[in-house]
Amino acid sequence: MQGKQELYPKGTGPKDAHTRPGIAFYKGRPQCQRCGTWIAENCRLENGAYFCPGCLLLGRVTEFHELVTDVTPIARPKEVVPCVWSGTLTAKQAVVAIALKECLDKRQNALLWAVTGSGKTEMLFPMLEQAFQEGLQVAYATPRIDVCNEVYPRLRQAFPSGGILLRHSQGEEWGDFQLLVATTHQLLHFYRAFDLLIIDESDAFPYVDNPVLHQASRLAVKEQGITVHLTATPSRELKQKREKENWCLLTLFQRYHKRPLVVPELCFMENWHKLPERKRGLKKLARLCETLLKDNRLLLFCPQIDYLKRLEQALQPYLAQWRVTSVSARDEKRQEKIQGMREGEWDVLLTSTVLERGVTFANVSVVVLGADHEVFTKSVLIQIAGRVDRLGEYRHGRVVFCYQEQTYPLRQAIVEIKAINRKRGQEDAL
């Protein structure tokens, strides 16, 4: 498979492949060439050889190993792989889609800063269609498995004749592909493999502030290839990198249905961290849930998984007439429950931040319990608020931040959502 790197003991790999040392030394300091980790002095085997602790799950890299990459060109026929998506881009989406194609033509990196629910995936279709026609190798990478699982069927439906592979810890086996949909961790398997790398939600954990994954994304792209970042909440570092390296900046602050983002409401919830053990607090939360459930189903975000499980058990008796469940990164039935929520099997879904982005449900309102907890950064709160009013007709969806202290990230999330809505109005005026 072109561009996929494998680990071999030194001197045992294919002779016609590109070879790099597993560990290289810079001024005497060992560095893993797969993940970029600088290796500490105590990371040695019994024989004294250095090994890398940063990417052990992919196979142990030692100074006696080499990374071997198949560089045999793939003779992909330049053929039309039609996009059969039946939808239509709005005028503003079409402008962005054309600009993305131009970035591919000019081989220029790009940042697409587009509000949640703007239709980022659909705006990629013209660029992807062109990439298929040119026989280019493409990767769509994102930090979250749930985002992969959301996007993959949409891409397969839009390009049924394209070779599209889904790859993550629970995904398919390796096989031939022209478009890889994968978590960003999977990029560690590649070296100079992709003509076009699309990184969706690059401000999300675990990609954000992760030098290993940043290294993986840099090395996975061919020297003449390009990277396109997609996000609704670009970090300051990403904005600075775009400006420093002169990437193309594309913005869209209008959702596809042209309605504004829902501005969060504030609800004081004293001692929310003790709420599962306090009847008074549970009754207050249950009344809020009942009010929201009159119009929509409900996503209830909690800051910690253990807290989530305690709250689910304590809240069940107060919402006995509603179908209630919970989901988190530890839940083995996560995908089943998410699909069940899409299909209307649940009225209330308690969730950790695992569903902060990349998943779409029709007709939901959102409550963030403990919105002043440190896990709820400004960007996380903006992403969570963006879960509301994404699909279907307007149903008076609401976003409620329950807090004990009005923290800076909480206030700034509301300020930025209002600012985005103003920018949307300015786009309309133009």
Per residue in 138-150, pLDDT (tens digit) is: 999 999 998 999 9
- The pLDDT value given to residue 301: 99
Residue 289: pLDDT over 90: yes
Same domain, 341 and 378: yes
- The pLDDT value given to residue 171: 64
Mean pLDDT of the 25-46 span = 95
What is the number of structural domains in the chain?
A: 3
Q: Is residue 416 part of a domain?
A: yes
Same domain, 117 and 65: no
> Cβ atoms within 10 A of the Cβ of 289, count?
21
Domain range for residue 56?
A: 5-69
Three-state SS for 347-396 is CEEEECHHHCCCCCCCCEEEEEECCCCCCCCHHHHHHHHCCCCCCCCCCC
Same domain, 269 and 392: yes
Instruction: Give 139's strand partners.
Output: 180, 197
Q: In angstroms, rounded to a whole number, what is the distance separating the alpha carbons of residues 150 and 85?
A: 16
In the chain, count H helices and then E strands.
Answer: 10, 18
Stated as kind and residue range, the H or E segment containing 312 is helix 305-315
The CATH number of the domain holding residue 412 is 3.40.50.300
Q: Is residue 295 part of a domain?
A: yes
Question: Model's pTM, two decimal places?
Answer: 0.91
Q: Is residue 84 part of a domain?
A: no
- pLDDT band at 430, cuts 50/70/90? very low
Q: Is residue 43 part of a domain?
A: yes
Same domain, 238 and 278: no
For 81-121, the pLDDT digits (tens) are 889 999 999 999 999 999 999 999 999 999 999 999 999 99
Mean pLDDT of the 297-312 span = 98
Q: Which of 138-142, 167-171, 266-270 has the lowest mean pLDDT?
A: 167-171
Output the six-digit token pair for 257. Answer: 């249905």
106 CB-side CA count, 13 A: 13
Same domain, 232 and 295: no
Q: Is residue 23 part of a domain?
A: yes
